[in-house]
Amino acid sequence: MSLISLKDIQKTYYMGDMSLPVLKGITLDVERGEMVALTGVSGSGKSTLMNILGCLDRPTGGEYWLDGKEISKLSNDERADVRNKKIGFVFQNFNLLSRTTALENVIMPLGYTAAHLSEKKMLDMGKEMLERVGLADRMDHEPSRLSGGQQQRVAIARALVNRPQIVFADEPTGNLDTKMSEEILRIFNEINEKDGVTIVLVTHEMDVAQSAKRIIKLKDGEISSDTVLRK
Amino acid sequence: MRKLRVLKWALKAICRNPTRTFLTTLGIVIGIAAVIALMEIGNGARETLAQNIANMGVNTIRVWPGTITRSGVSSGSSGRANITLTDVNAILKGCPSVVSVSPVVNVRGQIIYGGNNWSPFSIIGVNEDYMKIANWSIEDGEPISKRHVTRGSKVCLVGSTIVRELFEGENPVGKNLRIQNVVFKVIGVLKTKGANMMGMDQDDTVIAPWTTVKTRLRGAGSTSLSSTSTTSSTTTATSTSDLYVGSLDLYPSSSSSNRPPVRFANVDSLIIAAPNQDEVPQAVKEITEVLRETHRLAPENDDDFRIRTMAEFSEFFTSQTETITNLLLCVAFVSLFVGGIGIMNIMLVSVTERTREIGLRMAVGARGSDILKQFLVESIVICLLGGLLGIALGHGLSVALTVLMKWPSSVSYDAIILAVGVSVFVGLVFGYYPAWKAARLDPIEALRYE
- Say if residue B335 is in the same domain as residue B399: yes
Using a 10 angstrom Cβ sphere, with 0-12 exposed, 13-18 middle and 19 or more buried, the burial of residue A200 is buried
- Say if residue B104 is in the same domain as residue B45: no
Looking at the domain assignment, is residue B304 inside a domain?
A: no
DSSP B286-346: HHHHHHHHHTT--TTSPPSEEEEEHHHHHHHHHHHHHHHHHHHHHHHHHHHHHHHHHHHHH
Q: Which CATH number among 1.20.1050.140, 3.40.50.970, 3.40.50.300, 3.40.50.2300 corresponds to the domain A34-57+75-228?
A: 3.40.50.300
Residue B358, helix vs strand vs coil:
helix
Mean pLDDT on B378-389 = 93
Number of structural domains found in chain B: 2
- Say if residue B183 is in the same domain as residue B255: yes
ipTM of the complex: 0.93
Percent of chain A with pLDDT strictly greater than 90: 75
Mean pLDDT on A155-159 = 95
- Say if residue B108 is in the same domain as residue B256: yes
Looking at the domain assignment, is residue B76 inside a domain?
A: no
Q: How confident is the model at residue B244 (pLDDT cuts 50, 70, 90)?
A: low
- Say if residue B267 is in the same domain as residue B324: no
Q: How confident is the model at residue B245 (pLDDT cuts 50, 70, 90)?
A: very low
Looking at the domain assignment, is residue B290 inside a domain?
A: no
Looking at the domain assignment, is residue B406 inside a domain?
A: yes
Mean pLDDT on A76-103 = 91
Boundary residue ending a domain (B273, B304, B330): B273
- Say if residue B402 is in the same domain as residue B344: yes
Instruction: Choose from B350, B364, B371, B441 for mutation: most chain A CBs within 10 A.
Output: B364
Looking at the domain assignment, is residue B278 inside a domain?
A: no
What is the spatial distance between Cα B269 and Cα B87, in angstroms, rounded to a whole number?
11
Tens of pLDDT, residue by residue over B437-446, are 999 999 999 9
Boundary residue ending a domain (B243, B273, B303): B273
Residue B87 touches partner A, C-beta closer than 8 Å: no
pLDDT of residue B229: 33
- Characterize A118-156 residue by residue with b for buried, 16 or more Cβ atoms within 10 angstroms of its Cβ, and e for exposed: eeeebbebbbebbebbebeebbebbbeebebbbbbbbbb
What is the spatial distance between Cα B371 and Cα B377, in angstroms, rounded to a whole number?
10
Boundary residue ending a domain (B273, B305, B340): B273
- Say if residue B325 is in the same domain as residue B427: yes
What is the spatial distance between Cα B134 and Cα A37, in angstroms, rounded to a whole number?
99
Residue A94, helix vs strand vs coil:
coil
Instruction: Specify the higher pLDDT residue, B133 or B262.
Output: B133
Query: Between the ranges B41-45, B195-199, B270-274, where is the mean pLDDT highest?
Result: B270-274
Residue B360 touches partner A, C-beta closer than 8 Å: yes
Judge: B444–A51 Cβ closer than 8 Å, yes or no: yes
The structural domains of chain A, with segments of one domain joined by +, span: 34-57+75-228
Backbone angles phi, psi at B219, to 5 degrees: 85, 15
Judge: B1–A56 Cβ closer than 8 Å, yes or no: no
Judge: B357–A97 Cβ closer than 8 Å, yes or no: yes
pLDDT of residue B124: 92
pLDDT of residue A153: 94
pLDDT of residue B379: 93
Q: Using alpha carbons, select from B161, B159, B144 the residue that is nearest to residue B103.
A: B144
Look at strands A4-15 and B73-74 and give their pairing. Answer: unpaired
- The partner residue sitting opposite A111, judged by closest CB among B1, B362, B363, is B1
pLDDT at B264 over 70: no
- Say if residue B116 is in the same domain as residue B42: no
Looking at the domain assignment, is residue B201 inside a domain?
A: yes
- Say if residue B250 is in the same domain as residue B339: no
Q: How confident is the model at residue B42 (pLDDT cuts 50, 70, 90)?
A: confident
Q: Which domain holds residue B18?
A: 3-53+316-448
Looking at the domain assignment, is residue B395 inside a domain?
A: yes
Mean pLDDT on A77-95 = 92
Question: Which of B13-27, B98-112, B213-227 is predicted with the least confidence, judged by mean pLDDT?
Answer: B213-227
- Say if residue B345 is in the same domain as residue B266: no
Q: Closest chain A residue to B357 measured between Cα atoms?
A: A97
pLDDT of residue B407: 80
- The partner residue sitting opposite A112, judged by closest CB among B356, B364, B444, is B364
- Say if residue B32 is in the same domain as residue B109: no
Tens of pLDDT, residue by residue over B156-183, are 999 999 998 899 888 999 999 999 889 9
pTM attached to this predicted model: 0.69
Judge: B365–A89 Cβ closer than 8 Å, yes or no: no
Tens of pLDDT, residue by residue over B384-420, are 999 999 999 999 999 998 888 888 888 888 888 988 9
pLDDT of residue B225: 38
Looking at the domain assignment, is residue B73 inside a domain?
A: no
Please name the residues in contact with B83: beta carbons below 8 A apart, sequence gap of 6 or more.
B63, B64, B65, B103, B266, B267, B268, B269, B270, B305
Judge: A85–B444 Cβ closer than 8 Å, yes or no: no
Contact A35, A52 (CB under 8 A): no
Please name the residues in contact with A211: beta carbons below 8 A apart, sequence gap of 6 or more.
A35, A37, A185, A188, A189, A201
- Characterize B336-367 residue by residue with b for buried, 16 or more Cβ atoms within 10 angstroms of its Cβ, and e for exposed: beebbebbbebbeebbeebbbbbbbbbbbbbb
Instruction: Specify the higher pLDDT residue, B387 or B244.
Output: B387
- The partner residue sitting opposite B5, judged by closest CB among A85, A100, A111, is A111
CA atoms within 13 A on the CB side of B423: 31
pLDDT of residue B221: 52
Tens of pLDDT, residue by residue over A14-65, are 988 899 999 999 999 999 999 999 999 888 999 899 999 999 999 999 999 9
Q: Could you tell me the end-to-end alpha-carbon distance of chain B, in angstroms, rounded to an integer?
A: 28
What is the spatial distance between Cα B220 and Cα B447, in angstroms, rounded to a whole number?
92
Query: Between the ranges A120-134, B215-229, B290-304, where is the mean pLDDT highest?
Result: A120-134
Q: Using alpha carbons, select from B290, B234, B227 the residue that is nearest to residue B86.
A: B290
Tens of pLDDT, residue by residue over A196-229, are 999 999 998 888 999 999 999 999 999 999 999 8
Q: How confident is the model at residue A99 (pLDDT cuts 50, 70, 90)?
A: confident
What is the spatial distance between Cα B12 and Cα A142, in angstroms, rounded to a whole number?
14
Contact B394, B40 (CB under 8 A): yes
